[in-house]
Amino acid sequence: MRRPTGGPMRLLPILAATLALLLAACTSVTSTVEGYSTIPEGIAPKTVHIAPGEGMSGESLAWQSNAQALAAQLARRGYTSVARGEARLLARFSYSTAAPETERYPVRVPVRGITGYETQETSPGVFRTVPIRGIIGYRTRYETRVVYPRQLRITMRDARSGAPVFETSALSRDTCDQTPRVIALMLGAALKSFPKAQSGRVTLSEDQSC
């Protein structure tokens, strides 16, 4: 016969391990976004021509691949990528990846101890009290990781007036070394509210791990 007084604490390590496995199964990127937009509501046609921005080469296969990711994001929002002569919006797209950096970050480490007691019946009519051990608190230790600073920028002009109508930039520092995958998530963050502007920190994830 048992009367546990601290049993639920035993579940915490299991829950923490399950959460860690779920997080490891996906790629998550947090972008700091700053955007401005004067694109009129109901603009028509919803067509965009994407060209290389400053420092970019349209002949680069890497740029072409990431430009396709940009076109896909715009398509999800109802905008079609077309030739320059057919476009209502003229977009310039650029991105860059800085050299990897090593940074220190805090980690919460569980401290185990006695969380309660339970009474056990060792034989008929004979009981004893035994301690229940589990997590009683946390301490902080510091570890290191390699991060990859990246940024991108998108500007758009109205093809009819030539006026600038949209600007956005996104910055990220993440541990994924696969630039195309990260750029795709950063584009999703930068265009989250398109054609309206988006600003602030935006976290997006995909199911595959990096």
Strand 126-158 vs strand 47-52: parallel, antiparallel, or unpaired?
A: unpaired
Number of domains in the chain: 1
Asked if the structure places residue 36 within a domain, the reply is yes
Asked if the structure places residue 138 within a domain, the reply is no
Check residue 194 and give its pLDDT.
97
Asked if the structure places residue 174 within a domain, the reply is yes
Strand 2-4 vs strand 27-37: parallel, antiparallel, or unpaired?
A: unpaired
Asked if the structure places residue 89 within a domain, the reply is yes
**Rounded average pLDDT per 10-residue block, the chain, 210 residues:** 45 48 67 97 95 97 97 97 97 97 95 93 90 94 96 98 98 94 96 96 86
Distance, CA of 70 to chain centre: 17
One-character DSSP codes across 100-167: PEEEEEEEEEEEEEEEEEEEEEEETTEEEEEEEEEEEEEEEEEEEEEEEEEEEEEEEEETTT--EEEE
Check residue 210 and give its pLDDT.
74
Distance, CA of 209 to chain centre: 12
Whole domain around residue 186: which residue ranges?
2-17+31-104+143-206
Contact between 167 and 161 (Cβ < 8 Å): no
**From CA 147, how far away is CA 202, in angstroms rounded?**
18
Q: Token pair of 210, please?
A: 């990096």
Count of CB atoms situated within 10 Å of the CB of 112: 12
Asked if the structure places residue 118 within a domain, the reply is no
Residues whose CB falls within 8 Å of the CB of residue 168, separated by 6 or more in sequence, listed in order: 33, 34, 35, 36, 37, 153, 154, 190, 191, 197, 198
Question: Any idea what the CATH number is for the domain that residue 151 is in?
Answer: 3.30.160.150
Asked if the structure places residue 40 within a domain, the reply is yes
Check residue 25 and give its pLDDT.
52
Asked if the structure places residue 8 within a domain, the reply is yes
Residues whose CB falls within 8 Å of the CB of residue 181, separated by 6 or more in sequence, listed in order: 27, 206, 208, 210
One-character DSSP codes across 52-88: E-TT--TT-HHHHHHHHHHHHHHHHTT-EE--GGG-S
